[in-house]
Amino acid sequence: MSAAQFQHLRDYLDSQVLGQPEFTESLLIAVLADGHLLVEGPPGLAKTRAVNALAKGIEGDFHRIQFTPDLLPADLTGTDIYRPETGQFVFQQGPLFHNVILADEINRAPAKVQSALLEAMAERQITVGQTTYPLPALFMVLATQNPLEQEGTYPLPEAQLDRFLMQLNLDYPAADTELDILRLTRGEELHGEVDMPEPLTQEAIFAARKDVLEIFMDENVENYLVQLVIATRRPEFYDSELASWLSYGGSPRATIALDRCARAKAWLAGRDFVTPDDIQAVYPHVMRHRIILSYQAEADGVTADRVLELLLQHVATP
């Protein structure tokens, strides 16, 4: 499987979502690593536009779900419908039975809805009544959320956050990028605009995922990856101040996610081996939603990204 098709799709995404190359690369990493992606940022930063553009580049069914406080679990999973002509209940599939799901403003929905989504993300199945239904082989949840400081938002449960492969934090674009955005919305042609590629087939995606898992990782690099995750659990081995800022570190699921994302990044770069730079590049995105900061860190104004930046400085690079 050649990375050229994915590179073409990446170029197309970059032409549709201006000034966010790290975001568009992370979308493809999530596809290659068979994971779900959480994107946080203020409204108007093209989060939904980017996911729509990705869905057009993948062969499969796409569905957008707008999360609201009055959403019910059955609105996601589907429900049993009574057919009076037959006297039987027939299961009516909900939107989760599509291949690519855009969960828009996911942190506006109540806990019961998050629980239904958690089963789908973790087990690739849903349960309605006494029956369990498998989801498609290609199944991705690309979720957007607004910052928790905004009105009507609720923090996602830690167990659900851990199921997201990565979390991306988007910020406002630079002035020159915003000028290009303005011209793009007026329908003006921009230099470097890319035509939409042929959609990637599901067979091509599954073949690429297999290639990614076969990327070589040296034992020293592998040990480095593991130490970066363990450092979030044992920060006292590196720095006493770090230890006072961290309450909980990443789980073994974080180690698996970091491994897959680093391999996918190397594969997208056209290499057949993983470097420490690959791991360092995806480390903040894989870990920022998995670590829990202490009250001391919040009082000191320390962010998860700051803690992870310090850990990268403390753990010796091979």
* pLDDT tens-digit series, residues 213-227: 999 999 999 999 999
Least confident stretch, 1-10, 32-41, 114-123: 1-10
What is the C-alpha end-to-end distance of the chain, expressed in Å? 30
Q: Put residue 198 in one of left, alpha, beta given phi > 0 → left and psi -120 to 50 → alpha.
A: beta
One-letter amino acid for residue 82 of the chain: Y
pLDDT of 190 reads 67
* pLDDT tens-digit series, residues 234-245: 988 888 888 899
Q: Are 12 and 196 in contact (CB under 8 A)?
A: yes
Q: pLDDT-derived band of residue 110, with 50, 70 and 90 as boundaries?
A: confident
pLDDT at 291 over 70: yes
Q: What is the mean pLDDT of the chain?
A: 88
Q: What percent of the chain has a predicted confidence (pLDDT) above 90? A: 41
pLDDT of 312 reads 93
pLDDT of 225 reads 96
Burial class (CB in 10 A: 0-12, 13-18, 19+), 79: middle
Q: Are 158 and 150 in contact (CB under 8 A)?
A: no
DSSP symbol at 172: P
Describe the chain by its helix, strand, coil percentages, rounded to 5: 50, 20, 35
pLDDT of 151 reads 61
Q: pLDDT-derived band of residue 232, with 50, 70 and 90 as boundaries?
A: very high
* pLDDT tens-digit series, residues 45-95: 777 888 888 888 888 888 899 998 889 888 999 888 888 888 888 888 989
Beta strand pairing status for 125-128 and 131-134? antiparallel
pLDDT of 33 reads 94
Least confident stretch, 122-126, 189-193, 213-217, 250-254: 189-193
Q: Are 300 and 251 in contact (CB under 8 A)?
A: no
> What is the mean pLDDT of the segment spanning 299-311?
91
For the chain, which domains are there? 4-185 (3.40.50.300), 215-314 (1.10.8.80)
> What is the mean pLDDT of the segment spanning 106-130?
87
pLDDT of 259 reads 97
